[in-house]
Chains A and B, each alone.
Chain A
Amino acid sequence: MSAPTVERPADRDVSSEARGRAPAPSRGGSLTAYAMVAPNLLLIVVFLLVPLVWALVMSFQAKRSFGPGRWTGLDNLTRLVGDDVFWRALLNTGIFTVATVPLSVGLGLALALLMDRALPGRGVFRTIVYLPIAVSTLVTSLVGLLLFDETVGIVNGLLRDAGIGPVSWQTDGRLAMVTVVLMTLWTRVGFGMLVYLAALQDVDGEVMEAAEVDGAGPLARVRHIVVPWLRPTTFFLVVINLIWSFQVFDVVYVMTNGGPGYDTTMLVTYAYDEGFGAARNFGYGATVGLVLFVLTLAVTLVQVRLNRKVEES
């Protein structure tokens, strides 16, 4: 791959970081620096930190839409704990996550290994698997509807030609979840493959050859050299896919709208329905949203801890 110059060998970064110190800071120098980071910090504070604090405040209030908030202590939290739909949404988000994360990462790795070495048409194959990355989730979801529509959809049409069906992709809750997972995988596997392929560029060719000379078969080489080498990449992909799965909204909103019943309702679709649906219950919607924040925070903190451990060992 002829990479643009943003790709630098990692070891350069370290040495240049040491050299990266600017000359002793003049007064004008640090003023310039503050001016350069200020717009970014301002945007973060106004559009992220202030709403985050406000969300915490709202979660202790009874508040409809933009109306004034009335302090109600832990009422929202109490309702949350006893709310079957919330637990259903949490469970569904868990199921969706367990289904999408391993498959996105695993299939990404399998396809990367498949398309890493020389092969006629390799560039075309790679491009085809990458393409869904550039397709918006909205288009993906609409195409998902077209494929899995029970009456006029393409998949049931093909199955009918084969004498099977019709399959109730939309009225059976479990199958509805399957369709949402499938369309999500379509957009994510290519990303996994892309990141893995980039990491595979750096696997030491000599080590691989030495292992081959020593009689290690292809599977043994993958298991003992490639997979350990790719561990940081795998770790990154697992974390980012976890966060994406927690946040799932678009595909569900368009393809199933949380249904049938609450069979595909997720955390974010539930928070959206509460906050922006008929109830316009900002207090409770914000409380559900904070659960997502806590989940994301937990995953990131675990990541930081593990990263530190890896660096120390």
Chain B
Amino acid sequence: MSRPMRFVVCVLVCAVFVFPLVAMLVVAFTPRELIFDGGAGLWPDRWTTANFTGLAETFPVWRWFGNALVVATLTTLLAVAVNLAAGYALAKLRFRGRGLVFIVVLSTLMVPTQAIMMPQFELVARMGLIGFFWAVILPSASTALGVFLARQFFLSIPVELVEAARIDGCNHWTAFLRVVLPLAKPLVAVMSLLAFMTQWNDFLWPLITLRDPDLYTLPVAMSYLQGQFDADYGGLMAMALVSCVPLLVVFVVLQRYFVAGFARSGIR
């Protein structure tokens, strides 16, 4: 294909891909009566911010936002800590059962949480975690991808570095924390982004465990609003826009970290 030809095809493809986002943006600023009268369009006669103000007056939007932030942040902190530590031990320390531990971690890929949601829910309930964010956070902290990324990274760090630190009087912990970890900033960035994004967007498990509207995260809140709003797409799109813009901005700004993380998950 010639270059101008490829350019034209790219423009067309991107038009298709950006279309749903444009539709969301436009409808979020379209007065609701216009939608009820003549349907939603890409260029309304009038624009309004009433969808946003109406939303914030009727529903605890900021609270949902805060919930999402707290849940995603706590999950990220916990996930990075447990997966980083396990990945380091699997890459750099020798211990009995190392191979088995790695297999157990990888085999979690074969158990989709959707397949075990009923016993998982009853277990979490019997542990007394329902009604708290921990019900959402704890089951999603350990991820095979996180451990895998960490192990791959630490394998590429020369063992001489760890040995030198040990000779200089570090024990295993201080060698890890003071010598190796400072080198792992890009790894921590990738792991954090992936963990945060996954939890921010997760729906089914929070839908099951967060029974109180005051505890909803954004996806569960949106599903709840869908029932409340019926076909009031202005309000729904306002909520959708508010919930996805922060992550889209982060994604564009830190795109190369995301790309590195996803690419690494694909090339084994």
A interface residues, Cβ below 8 angstroms from B: 1-8, 10, 12-13, 16-17, 19-25, 28-30, 32-34, 36-37, 39-41, 43-44, 46-48, 50-52, 54-55, 58, 66, 111, 114-115, 119-122, 124-125, 127-140, 142-147, 149, 151-154, 156-158, 160, 183, 186, 189-191, 194-195, 197-199, 218, 232-233, 236-237, 243, 246-247, 249-250, 253-254, 268, 271-272, 275-276, 282, 285-286, 289-290, 292-293, 296-297, 300
Contacts and interface: CB of A to CB of B under 8 A. Distances in A.
Given A25-B94, A136-B218, A1 B256 contact: yes
Given A37-B101, A154-B40, A233 B266 contact: yes
Q: Which of B83, B114, B153, B262 has the most CB of A within 10 A?
A: B114
B17 A289 contact: no
Given A4-B190, A147-B20, A236 B266 contact: yes
Interface string B166-184: 1000011100000000000
B260 A138 contact: no
Contact of B236 (A22, A47, A146): A146
Contact of A289 (B116, B138, B142, B208): B116
B157 interface: yes
Contacts of B110: 293, 296-297, 300
B10 interface: yes
A245 to B, nearest CB: 12
B250 to A, nearest CB: 8
B157 to A, nearest CB: 7
B63 interface: no
B108 A146 contact: no
Chain B contact residues: over half helix, strand or loop, or mixed? helix
12 contacts: A4-B256, A8-B156, A36-B93, A47-B123, A47-B124, A119-B3, A130-B255, A131-B18, A142-B237, A143-B20, A254-B226, A271-B118
A189 B14 CA distance: 12
B257 A4 contact: yes
A36 B97 CA distance: 13
Contacts of A41: 86, 101, 104
A34 to B, nearest CB: 6
A272 B112 contact: no
Contacts of B88: 36
A186 B112 contact: no
Given A16-B157, A58-B119, A125-B10, A152 B142 contact: no
Given A195-B262, A199-B267, A296-B110, A55 B118 contact: yes
Nearest to A47: B139
B218 to A, nearest CB: 7
B94 to A, nearest CB: 5
A129 to B, nearest CB: 5
A30 B89 CA distance: 9
A43 B81 CA distance: 13
Nearest to B243: A139
Given A6-B153, A33-B93, A198 B86 contact: no
Given A7-B263, A282-B118, 7 more contacts: A12-B156, A119-B6, A138-B218, A154-B39, A195-B266, A254-B226, A271-B115
Contact of A138 (B95, B147, B223, B265): B223
A218 B23 CA distance: 37
B214 interface: no
Contacts of A21: 94, 159
Q: Which of A4, A10, A129, A160 has the most CB of B within 10 A?
A: A4
B203 interface: yes
Contacts of B250: 134
